[in-house]
Structure 1
Amino acid sequence: MPRLADLRFRAATTFQRRVGNPILRRLPLQTVLETTGRVSGLPRRTPLGGRRVGDSFWLVSEFGERSQYVRNIKVDPRVRVRIRGRWHTGTAQLLPDDDPVARLRGLPRFNSLGVRAFGTDLLTVRVELDG
């Protein structure tokens, strides 16, 4: 990975882990993705942006397969998503053939700007929601 991209990754993930995520995941209307930790087996909650379309929830990972939640999905795709304060169970699917830049155009603007600004390896993720 080029040096600038690696610096952006380290800076963004350090800020998210220590400042942003602990605050955002507590906000009742913040969208949160819950995965199962691939080593610990414990629930891991990540605040993020995305959009529900029918029975699917779409998001774009800004660091692709380097994102911890993507690494967790690869081991166990069963997830929960909190949308507008309500939890939904589902199965996540990584879509490397989808165009993540085009996908971001249909997702919430504020989050999409951040993903584009800091992202180094965009990856589309779709969660098929149960019932």
Structure 2
Amino acid sequence: MSRLADLRFRAATAFQRRVANPLTRRLPGHTLLETTGRVSGLPRRTPVGGRRVGESFWLVSEFGGRSQYVRNIEADPRVRVRIHGRWHSGRAHLLPDDDPVARMRSLPRFNSAAVRAFGTDLLTVRVDLDA
């Protein structure tokens, strides 16, 4: 990883952890992804931008395998997603062969712009929601 990419990663994750995520998690209408902590076993809730399409929820991780929630998904793909205030259980799939830039064209614009601006290793994630 280049020095600039590492700096962007550190700055963005520090801002997200200390400012954006604690505030956004409290907003009732914001979408949350709940994973199980790979070390602690505790629920971890991360605000995400994405879109439900049928029985799947799609999102793009801006830091790929460096994202804590992606690492948690690798350890345990069972997740929950809060969409419009309602929780849905599902199974997450990491899709390294998907084109994340093309995928973001179908996702919410504001979040996609932020992911493109700060992201260094984009990775598509699909959550297949339980019926």
TM tier, smaller: over 0.9
RMSD over aligned Cα, in angstroms?
A: 0.2
1:43 and 2:54 are equivalent in the alignment: no
Q: Could you tell me the percent identity over the aligned residues?
A: 82
What is the CA distance between 1:108 and its match in structure 2? 0.1
Q: Distance in 1 between matches of 2:47 and 2:26?
A: 9
Q: Which consecutive segments of 4 or more residues in structure 1 shift more than 2 A?
A: none
Question: In 1, Cα distance between the equivalents of 2:26 and 2:88?
Answer: 17
Secondary structure at the aligned position of 2:74 is classed as: helix
Q: Classify the secondary structure of the residue corresponding to 1:121.
A: coil
TM-score between the two structures when normalised by the length of structure 1: 1.00
Residues 79-129 of structure 1 deviation map (CA, whole Å, 9 limit, x = unaligned):
000000000000000000000000000000000000000000000000000
The 5 Å alignment of 1:1-131 reads 1-131=1-131
Amino acid at match of 2:113: L
- In the alignment, structure 1 segments of 5+ residues that lack a partner are none
Q: Give the Cα–Cα distance (whole angstroms) in 2 for the partners of residues 105 and 21 of structure 1.
A: 24
Q: Counterparts of 2:65 and 2:94 in 1: how far apart (Å)?
A: 9
3-state SS in 1 of match to 2:17: helix
* Aligned residue pairs, count: 131
Q: Which amino acid aligns with 2:102?
A: A
